[in-house]
Structure 1
């Protein structure tokens, strides 16, 4: 009999629950990138030959930009190991690429790897040539080895 008394509200409950689930799904998509311009990192790049031969020894993530000494938003050139600021500061890494054609860089902010020539992020956990520098930067930044996902 309790079911009969709540029959009208229970018929709207599943619809309300569906709306709530849809809102939660939209929120997750927004958080994890569907609406924020999320991009899939590339798993290959034709420009890896320009990588520095020794990427196990790199400047620390707190190294300021070599040109303007800005302390944040800096990138590591993976060709010559210069540390330069991002396009959101004084664009010194972008200028470095334009002048030297050194196209591979690692962000000390989030440890992402960007190829200026491909105009794309690269997956440092999948591209084996990038794993040593990613691991070294992670250890320097966080004091422990990174958790690598299975590829």
Structure 2
């Protein structure tokens, strides 16, 4: 009987090992890593400002609360407002005025509130000029673009 108990114990341990290996593989492949695939299209780009080559600098504080960081640039009216992790002024701006596309001055990501998704500013040609300008203002050099 001792051998039977040992056999089922090693079988359970082997099965647990396979489950842990599957979980690790899923994490490596990105399904649980928190990686989000940015969209390569958006139906809300018609509301973008016609002049996104002239934008406020990334060091501008929130226009409402004057918080110095975690700020976003509205790509419709060029207001600089703080993130949902500060005082939610950009989120309120979206709800009040329906300007839905914004660029984060923290990491230069672009978010569409209406799509509830990140947008790939290197692929979506309407967003590329504002991404390039923000990058130059933030880092003092042109951005490296990834190969497709």
Q: Tell me the TM-score normalized by structure 2.
A: 0.80
**Per-residue deviation at 1:149?**
1.1
- For 1:114 and 1:43, how far apart are their aligned partners in 2? 12
**Tell me, which stretches of 5 or more residues in structure 2 are unaligned?**
1-20
- For 2:33 and 2:86, how far apart are their aligned partners in 1? 22
Runs of 4+ off more than 3 Å: none
Task: Map 1:8-27 to 2 at 5 A.
Answer: 26=24
Counterpart pick for 1:121 among 95, 118, 131: 118
Aligned length: 129
Counterpart pick for 2:69 among 69, 72, 89: 72
Q: What residue in structure 2 maps to residue 53 of structure 1? A: 50
Q: What residue in structure 1 maps to residue 103 of structure 2? A: 106
SS in 2 for 1:129: coil
SS in 2 for 1:71: coil
- For 1:113 and 1:33, how far apart are their aligned partners in 2? 21
Q: What residue in structure 2 maps to residue 96 of structure 1? A: 93
SS in 1 for 2:111: strand
**Tell me, which stretches of 5 or more residues in structure 1 are unaligned?**
1-21
Q: Tell me the TM-score normalized by structure 1.
A: 0.79
Counterpart pick for 2:129 among 129, 132, 138: 132
